[in-house]
């Protein structure tokens, strides 16, 4: 096994709060272990184009509290081709980079697996996505911040909902996963939560709205963007069934990606950053560092990228019980 002396870190795919904390942890753990550390700008696109810069302890000062990613991120069509990956390999070879740490989700780890297969480069991953839909970790970097952002926004919306006796349909992120919607729905006392993992019984939801306490001054419906109907259709159906309700739609959008990472996300990213560097030095490759039951564990990329499509049914039951 080749001795690792130089490593590089990149962030890929959608940004997530806590990525900067992860970058910081990788850089400083690398330096602590007498490694030379490089940062790759704009993810795999920067790897192909050679946007690689040396990093030191000072270069990651005062970033742990910042959202987004200081290294920036981008989609890369070139990296999806063999020629693009070959160019990326040549670029790291020129700088003597022995191994990579990539922070991202499904697409990030799929690309890393291909790169390992073709060029035998040691790579470890860190789960950076607000959707929390990767196997091999209880929580992904950015998820806790995202759901707290949603909760804060919905709490504010409820203030105006109560002032006007309104029904608010609130669409949150989650193209393939409803975990943001589900946990934030419980946290905000939603009447119903609609997510892509479950077939929605609209008749049941309408009956629930009809049978709910008549003296309720506000009603909140949380809809994941990946739901088969989406927030706009859900709002229209409620208007159709309850023309006497004042129904409004609010799409939270990209505010869920931004903002200062929570304490949980900062600590999670820091733990996984340290573990990833140490994992490379131990000879690990092709794995994602995650946190399961409070302990760092490594999961092969091909298992980590399998979307979690089984929702904890107890959580959906809690929504119904507490919406009385």
pLDDT at position 229, please?
81
Active-site annotation, residues: 131
Which own/partner pairs from 59-63 qualify as long-range (CB within 8 Å, at least 24 positions apart)?
A: 59/27, 60/20, 60/23, 60/24, 60/27, 60/28, 63/20, 63/21, 63/23, 63/24
Q: What is the pLDDT of residue 313?
A: 78
pLDDT given at position 263: 98
Per-residue confidence (pLDDT) for residue 207, from 0 to 100: 77
Region of residue 50 (phi > 0: left; psi between -120 and 50: alpha; otherwise: beta)? left
CB 290 within 8 A of CB 138: yes
Q: Does the model's pTM come out above 0.95?
A: no
Per-residue pLDDT of the chain (324 residues; tens, 9 = 90+): 679 999 999 999 999 999 999 999 999 999 999 999 999 999 999 999 999 999 999 999 999 999 999 999 998 999 999 999 999 999 999 999 999 999 999 999 999 999 999 999 999 999 999 999 999 999 999 999 999 999 999 999 999 888 888 889 999 999 888 999 999 999 999 988 999 888 777 777 787 777 665 656 678 999 999 888 888 998 999 898 888 888 999 999 999 999 999 999 999 999 999 999 999 999 999 999 999 999 999 999 999 987 665 777 788 888 877 765
Task: Give which of 119, 77, 121 is closest to 102, Cα–Cα.
Answer: 121
Burial degree of 167 (CB within 10 A; 0-12, 13-18, 19+): buried
């Amino acid at each position: 096994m080749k001795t690792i002396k130089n490593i590089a870190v990149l962030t890929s795919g959608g940004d997530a709060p806590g990525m900067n904390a992860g970058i910081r942890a990788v850089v400083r753990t690398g330096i602590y272990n007498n490694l030379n550390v490089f940062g790759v700008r704009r993810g795999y696109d920067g790897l192909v184009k050679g946007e690689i810069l040396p990093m030191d302890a000072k270069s990651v000062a005062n970033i742990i509290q910042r959202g987004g990613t200081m290294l920036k991120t981008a989609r890369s069509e070139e990296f999806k081709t063999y020629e693009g990956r070959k160019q990326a390999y040549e670029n790291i070879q020129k700088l003597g980079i022995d191994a990579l740490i990539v922070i991202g989700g499904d697409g990030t780890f799929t690309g890393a697996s291909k790169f390992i297969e073709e060029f035998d480069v040691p790579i470890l991953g860190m789960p950076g996505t607000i959707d929390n839909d990767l196997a091999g970790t209880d929580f992904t970097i950015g998820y806790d911040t995202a759901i707290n952002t949603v909760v804060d926004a919905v709490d504010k919306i409820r203030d105006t909902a109560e002032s006007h006796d309104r029904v608010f349909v609130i669409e949150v992120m989650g193209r393939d996963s409803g975990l943001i919607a589900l946990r934030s729905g419980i946290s905000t006392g939603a009447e119903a939560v609609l997510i892509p993992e479950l077939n929605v019984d609209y008749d049941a939801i309408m009956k629930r709205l009809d049978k709910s306490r008549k003296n309720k001054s506000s009603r909140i419906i949380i809809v994941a963007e990946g739901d088969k109907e989406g927030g706009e259709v859900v709002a229209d159906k409620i208007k159709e069934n309850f023309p006497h309700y004042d129904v409004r739609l609010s799409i939270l959008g990209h505010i869920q990606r931004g903002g200062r990472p929570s304490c949980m996300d900062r600590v999670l990213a820091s733990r996984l950053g340290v573990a990833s560097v140490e994992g490379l030095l131990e000879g690990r490759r092709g794995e994602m560092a995650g946190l399961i039951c409070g302990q760092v564990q490594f999961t092969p990329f091909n298992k980590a990228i399998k979307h979690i499509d089984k929702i904890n049914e107890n959580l959906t039951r809690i929504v119904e019980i507490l919406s009385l």
